[in-house]
Amino acid sequence: MNRTRACFEAAEAAAALLRELRGKVRADYKDLAQGTTLDPVTQADRNAEALLRRELLGHFPGDGFLGEEGAPESSRSGWLWVADPLDGTLNFSHGGAHAAVSLALLKDGEPVAGAIVPILGEATHAERGGGSYRGGRRLATSQVRHLGEALAATDLPYDLKLRHGTARARFVTLAEACQSVRILGSAALELVAVAAGELELYANEGCKAWDLCAGALILREAGGLLTAEDGGRLDLLDPGPFLASNGPLHGPAVALLS
């Protein structure tokens, strides 16, 4: 089995597991000892990550693995799997379906394959240089060129300092300039939405590598852009505030948010 095929198949298998567990698990909270109950985790997250780790490292034992829930596995081959076993845990823990498995394959730090498989709906796949596809249809970003016509998304990070500071300011700025703003709760699926032309902009902070690596490749292959919020290079393995766009609106959005 080649790695690209393994990426797509493992993500599908993890999503099937999540569908079986939807409505059957309760949320725990990662930071309860620090006095906050904002960052949820469920047994579904842990089970799905265990499945991904077992399947991928079973086929490719020299590869690295970076997942949200477990200890990282160093790479001896130059290949690294980056996995969010359940992006949108808060939605899922409330019985919602706006959640997905996000899995990326990196070579020397760059995504070369990615899969985002939602609880409901069609899977999205991308391979570097080969385009992005959802349900067999090639994705392309919208060509909206005016901020006033743009549908944007952002989020409220679990970090309370960010939530009540820059995140709130970002929401207000986007709401005043764009047609409307959505808070949907899954970075992976928001990146797919920009790639598919369903959103023009997605700006956020507080995300990790596993939230963004697969979506970054999917967006790029659909003609979109993902950068740091100020327009500079975004380090996918250590991301700060970022901006995803359809392409034509990237410059105006950088100017708006900087």
Q: Are residues 14 and 71 in the same domain?
A: yes
Q: Are residues 17 and 77 in the same domain?
A: yes
**Domains contained in the chain, number:** 2
Q: Are residues 164 and 190 in the same domain?
A: yes
Q: What is the mean pLDDT of residues 134-155?
A: 97
- Residue 196 CA to residue 219 CA, distance in Å, equals 8
Buried residues in 217-231 as b, exposed as e (16+ CB within 10 A): bbbbbbbbbbbbbeb
Q: Are residues 165 and 109 in the same domain?
A: no
pLDDT digits (tens, 9 = 90+) for 32-76: 555 455 678 899 999 999 999 999 999 999 999 999 999 999 999
Strand partners for 225: 245
Query: What is the arrangement of strands in the sheet containing 242-245, beginning at the earlier edge strand?
Result: 180-183, 151-154, 201-204, 242-245, 225-228
pLDDT digits (tens, 9 = 90+) for 49-59: 999 999 999 99
Q: Are residues 152 and 129 in the same domain?
A: no
DSSP codes of every residue in 136-205: TEEP-------GGG-EEEE---SSHHHHTTHHHHHHHHHHHHSSEEEE-S-HHHHHHHHHTTS-SEEEE-
- Residue 89 CA to residue 96 CA, distance in Å, equals 9
Q: Are residues 51 and 168 in the same domain?
A: no
Q: Are residues 123 and 20 in the same domain?
A: yes
Whole-prediction pTM: 0.95
Q: Are residues 13 and 81 in the same domain?
A: yes
> Which residue segment(s) compose the domain that 40 sits in?
3-138
Boundary of a domain, candidates 75, 105, 138 = 138
Q: What is the pLDDT of residue 36?
A: 53
Q: What is the pLDDT of residue 248?
A: 98
pLDDT digits (tens, 9 = 90+) for 214-253: 999 999 999 999 999 999 999 999 999 999 999 999 999 9
Boundary of a domain, candidates 138, 158, 176 = 138
Boundary of a domain, candidates 103, 119, 138 = 138
Q: Are residues 88 and 131 in the same domain?
A: yes
Q: Are residues 32 and 110 in the same domain?
A: yes
Q: Are residues 126 and 38 in the same domain?
A: yes
The pairing of strands 137-138 and 151-154 is unpaired
Q: What is the pLDDT of residue 34?
A: 53
CATH number at residue 15: 3.30.540.10
Q: Are residues 153 and 210 in the same domain?
A: yes
